[in-house]
A and B are shown apart, each in its own frame.
Chain A
Amino acid sequence: MSRIPFRPSNWSLVVGMFVFIVALWAQSDALVGAFYDDGIYLVLARALAGGEGYVYSHLPGTPQAVHYPPFYPFVISLLWRIWPQFPNNLSLFQLFDSMALAGAAIVIANQIRKWATPHWIKSVAIVTSFSAFPLLTLVAVRFSEPLFLLLLAAAVSLADGEEISLRNAALAGLLAGFAILTRSVGLAALVGISISYLLRRDVRSAAVATVSGLIIVAPWLVHVRKYSAAIDSRLATVYGSYGDVVNGAGIGSVISGADLRVFGPAARLLIPSLPGVLWWLVACTVAGVSVYGAFKLWPRARALVLTLALYSTVVTVWPYAPDRFVWVLLPWWFLCLGAGLHHLYQFRGALRWIAIAVAAIVIVGFVPREVNALKGHRFTRTAEAISAPFGLLIPSVVQELPTDAVIASGDEALVFLYTGRQAVPASLVRFERSELLPFSAAETLRFYCENTVTHLFKSAEGDPVIDLVDHWESNFPGVLTQLFAVRSGPALYEVHCP
């Protein structure tokens, strides 16, 4: 028997090379941390690479990290050890993320080779989804999604593969375990894979896959349980464990958020602007066609379909905005839609016309948005606009503030990475039902003083810090001294605790 379990076809390699090139092209000059989580991942990677452990080294007291699963920071920390000079080493991380996305494309393209959908539909679906601007936006910043997609794709591909063996089940479970350690929602894959084995009446494979995945995840769960109590309750929404989030929001209120919003991001991407009711009608039709496509894929891809279903359920009930969670699975959504359209088209009469109409609507909705976003690299402008105010002030902070300064900022990880000064969130939030609400200004000031905050950074218009500054300037004169401000732009204040 061959020792090589994976033999990519030439077609999948061509797709992979295309995705690799597009992903490298998509990289942006925005500062890391512009999208918040990307900065935290790198802070954690830096701490691991420096031997500090899995800690939030940017926060005073360097608490243990319990919110962000460790696998992506761990992989980045290995690269960080190879090239420790930040931010020059970002190009190595960009390269890794692009490779991971290309790897995911190869695995998915390889898996779908034998699906009944015509080759040209699969090609169009996979090429357009992997070059769709939401996915490119994810790969252009240091998010864990490319690695997550690779692990997820490899896990379900193995579970749905033709070769059934305990070895493959164990490997699928391990990969799903690593997917959970990359993004917690990867749990959907482990459960989906195990159920798919059970549906095949293969109890041993189901048990092996489940146990393999749990073995990988168990140490992380122990770590979270051990250290989650040490996180300041005012930081729990962002830095606490997912248990803290659910506790804060209340489990009943979380479930009440089950409003099928998981379909929202894809619908906003694919459907053109239409009058209200019509838009909903079309959106439901497109969703229906995709679900039908998934149903038709079921015989060949049970683990995949179960994973998608469970994943969608988790994302729907979870209080966070679903967009980022949805974009990462765009290739599979597109493939399901393509399969649905193809099978609908096989019917005669009205169903065929529905398929044609849905295809036309999706093309009219998606193509102009895609062209507009790719033209001039516009999809990276949000990140670049967020990071611009920081870029303006960072050299001054590095040169002019003391090294033991503690800065409050809306992007504390970014500030820490580029200035070396410890940083805390400028505004504190908590979940109430599925809404994010701010802590009071007085409570925030108390938090600042307890954490020896010396400076406050306001990034630009729209920063929630503006309300805090207004409040403190009116109610606590002398707490803030403005050191620098750009009209409608960033400002730096010195903080004096009362």
Chain B
Amino acid sequence: MISRKLAVAIPFAVAVLVFSNSVLNRWALDDHALIANNPAAHSIQGALDGFFEPYWPPDENGHSAGLYRPLATLSYAVEWTFSGGSPAVSHISNVFLHAFATGLVVLVALAWLSPLGAMVAGLVFAVHPVHTEAVANVIGRAEVMSAIGLLVAVVAARRYRRTASDERAWHWALVTLGAVIFAQLSKENGVVAIAIIALDHLVDRRPVLRPTFQLYWLVAALTLSWLYIWASIAGGAVDLTVAPGIRWLSFPERLATALPVQLEVVRLLVWPMNLAASYDPQLIPQRTEFGLLAVAGAIVAASIVLLGVALIRKAPAIAFGLIAAVISYAPTSNLVFSAGLMLGERTLYFSSIAPVLVVGWLASNARSDLRRPLFASVALILMVFGVRTVLRNPFWVDMRSVITNDLLEHPEGFRTQFRIGEAFEAIGDSNQALSYYLTAVELFDRDPFASKQLVDLALAMGRENLALSESGRAFGIAPFHADIVALHARTLVATGRRDSAIAIVREAFDNDATSTTARIYNEVAVTASSPDWAVRFSQARFSWLSGRPLEATSQLFELVDIEVSQGESEYFCWEFGKTRGIMEAIASNRLRELELLAGAHGCDA
């Protein structure tokens, strides 16, 4: 007979043991941007100062991602402060956080399973290979912390429901709220906390000793508040970080791509032997039409939900596992809305509770004649999973390991090829870099942003035709996107096609007169050696649209004495026409001479 304490302690210890070799890892992939090179993650004060900033530091264009995870950043900062930036401490923290989450899974499972069944569930959770990305890569911690928050919230809400004392009830309500906000400030999918708590309430067969409406109200108000703050900090950047494989797809096209992914999700949860660092095309191809795989994905997804609902009374543990997995995975499934990943192993961290509870339930409810083969099978699974996890941990040892091993395992990943190209470019091997970039584009030619480095490198290598064809391809995909317009226009100028460059930036400004298109026009006007007056016109428009009217006024005043040849009339009239609204707004007689000049060149009113 296994005690409840032992049921928690053994999986905790196994989790530490199985992931112990990950403490030798260093920084890999996003660890660099979010920790090693992020000043906010290097001191507690820095993290507190940046508490209301997006998770990702802004790029050179000032763009960030639609992510807000201040507690994750704060945790990195605490470690950095005490370890001086040693990755080992961060990895040790990850291992113990995972072990803690494992213990909580056991506590949650104990509501429905025997201590033995709950312990088996905990053991499967402890060694599940799909957790390696979340645990062995430091920034995967956001998933673990969020899962901890969700699990504590479930346990605390249970206590709230089952206490008769008002005072204790309020204590448990506060713990629940604390856990919910911890989950939400660790990772955005903490937003599902209220649904997970409600699900547990639904499948919990034990008597409820007090009204629960107030608790749900508080969690809902907290979630709404968090959503409001999240939207003001990072909500505006969500569209900028949609995964390349689904970017700019219509809703049916997105479903056609995302539904087959659900089969891959099930595979990763059930038999996670084949793992990858990223699931971009062509690991997961972009599909624009429904096929058999999409239908199969839809059937499997619907079956999981239906099975969960059907088992609420008969097997509440399985019902909770299946439905909770669906709820927690839904925000990143690309079925509800576009997410930043096609699929990520770390995003399945909490969802792994589904297979975990299925195995735990089997162990808890097996008929006596089936116990022996069942436990033999479970032991085998634990051993296979454990070995796979131990072997997988070093994959995340550092950047080089990740990108080289990922190339060996998944050469079909376009981003993998791209990362290798970046690595070669960083060490100055342009030929190799270009070769990998081209392979990446050949694998997936629907990501216009991937062309930027390829075009820059091609121009630097004097491969003008290649640069032009690549920027043209990117422009063909996203002619409405300012960065892509800028890329193509810059390439056109660099290859001596000044008129074409002016024409596309002019069209972009005509279509959408914003400070961004005005800036791009101004940059192209300068680099394309446009007449001085054209540059000044474009500078004035850019200043005005950027909210600097004083500067725009003085730039327009400088235009008063210009001379324009008759051959430039059409060009001048376009510039004048596009600036006329600003001149009319500025109440100054000094600009009258410009209007006279426009009249002399036959510009339309």
Contacts and interface: CB of A to CB of B under 8 A. Distances in A.
B440 to A, nearest CB: 37
B586 A486 contact: yes
Interface stretch (B224-232, B333-341, B392-400): B224-232
Nearest to B214: A13
A392 B225 contact: no
Given A21-B224, A24-B228, A3 B52 contact: no
Interface string B214-247: 1001001100110011001100000000000000
A98 B170 CA distance: 24
A487 interface: yes
Given A8-B214, A13-B213, A95-B228, A487 B587 contact: yes
B559 to A, nearest CB: 16
A368 interface: no
Contacts of A83: 51-52
A2 B166 contact: yes
A400 interface: yes
Interface size range on A against B: 35 or more
Nearest to B582: A486
Given A2-B166, A21-B224, A99-B225, A89 B52 contact: yes
A233 B5 CA distance: 75
Contacts of B228: 24, 91, 94-95
Nearest to A91: B232
B549 interface: yes
B47 to A, nearest CB: 14
B218 to A, nearest CB: 9
Interface in A432-479: none
A458 to B, nearest CB: 11
B503 interface: no
Interface residues of B, number: 29
A492 interface: yes
A10 B549 contact: no
Secondary structure dominating the interface of B:
helix
B587 A485 contact: yes
A298 interface: no
A486 B587 contact: yes
A489 interface: yes
B550 A484 contact: yes
B167 interface: yes
A24 B224 contact: yes
Most buried by B among A4, A13, A394: A13
A399 B548 contact: yes
B213 to A, nearest CB: 5
Contacts of A102: 221
A48 to B, nearest CB: 19
Contacts of A487: 584-587
Interface string A389-414: 00111111001100000000000000
Nearest to A400: B550
Contacts of A391: 547
Given A8-B214, A17-B217, A489 B547 contact: no
B114 interface: no
Nearest to B588: A485
B553 interface: yes
B546 interface: yes
16 contacts: A3-B167, A4-B166, A8-B214, A13-B214, A16-B217, A20-B221, A21-B224, A95-B225, A95-B228, A102-B221, A392-B549, A394-B547, A396-B548, A486-B585, A487-B586, A487-B587
**List of 7 A-B pairs having minimum Cβ-Cβ separation, nearest first:** A91-B232, A395-B547, A396-B550, A487-B587, A485-B587, A13-B217, A486-B585
Interface of B: 51-52, 166-167, 170, 211, 213-214, 217, 220-221, 224-225, 228-229, 232-233, 546-551, 553, 584-588
Given A10-B213, A20-B224, A83-B52, 19 more contacts: A2-B166, A4-B166, A10-B214, A83-B51, A91-B233, A95-B225, A95-B228, A99-B221, A99-B225, A102-B221, A394-B547, A395-B546, A399-B548, A399-B551, A484-B553, A486-B586, A486-B587, A487-B587, A492-B550
